[in-house]
Amino acid sequence: MGLGGDVVTALAKEPQRAGLVMDFDGVLSPIVADPATSRLLPGTGEVLKDLAARLGLVALVSGRPVSFLVERAGIEGVTLVGSYGVETYAEGRVQVLPEVEEWLPVVDRARERLQDSLGALPGVHLEDKGVAIAVHWRQAPDRAVAAQLVGDVVQDVVSETGLHREPGVRRGTASPAVAGQGRRAAAAGRGHGSEPGRICRG
């Protein structure tokens, strides 16, 4: 049996001890030129709601603010983990990692620096994620030139501020160095039973 079959068997055998953790962009939603237009694929919400009723944990993770996920994927029983693991939304409540608060003034300074340096470049878009700033250049007329310019500026900003650089597909992100994909999955799994189970990440 292949890996896919093993996963399905494990989920079916002990569903209440199993978890399914998935990225939002590129997995449940297509990658689009304008990040603000991203939406769940048709029919996905119904599938997630059904899975959440059967499994011990169903969670969506993203670098976007958790408010973005709530608006587009606020599905009963589904845990939402946003801003690189900083924010978690579950059972109608948002929880924020307390150690991030001290970084918010630093993020504000980085936002101003990035806007001043890159805001006027054609096809370059700054996405304010609250606790992070992403710079996209998918729509730049010369992506290679834009990638170099954005990369240099983002690197300067993270070096000056101590923020963490998160690479992406035609984007660069500056955020507090408190989370990554592994941290997101761990955050999603908190509070869902003391016994180890299976977490399947997509």
- pTM equals 0.64
Closest CA to 29 of 1, 85, 71: 71
Averages of pLDDT over each 10 residues, the chain, 202 residues: 64 81 87 80 92 91 88 92 85 83 87 93 87 87 92 92 80 68 51 44 46
Q: What is the pLDDT of residue 182?
A: 43
Domain 3-97+179-201 has CATH 3.40.47.10: no
Q: What is the pLDDT of residue 198?
A: 43
Nearest-angstrom CA–CA distance, 37 and 125: 14
Q: What is the pLDDT of residue 197?
A: 43
Q: What is the pLDDT of residue 94?
A: 86
Q: What is the pLDDT of residue 171?
A: 76
Point out the residues that are catalytic.
Answer: 23
Tokens of residue 42, six digits: 């048709």
Nearest-angstrom CA–CA distance, 47 and 66: 20
Closest CA to 55 of 23, 4, 7: 7
**Which CATH code for domain 101-175?**
3.30.70.1020
The residue ranges of every structural domain in the chain are: 3-97+179-201, 101-175
Q: What is the pLDDT of residue 193?
A: 46
Can you spell out the DSSP letters for the chain? --HHHHHHHHHHHSGGGEEEEEETBTTTB---SSGGG--PPTTHHHHHHHHHHHSSEEEEE-SS-HHHHHHHH--TT-EEEEGGGTEEEETTEEEE-GGGGGGHHHHHHHHHHHHHHHTTSTT-EEEE-SS-EEEE-TT-SSHHHHHHHHHHHHHHHHHHH-PEEEEETTEEEEE-TT--HHHHHHHHHTTS-SS--EEEE-
Q: What is the pLDDT of residue 189?
A: 57
Closest CA to 20 of 81, 96, 97, 84: 81
Q: Are strands 18-23 and 198-201 parallel, antiparallel or unpaired?
A: parallel
What Å distances lie between residue 60 and 50, 153, 162, CA to CA?
14, 30, 28
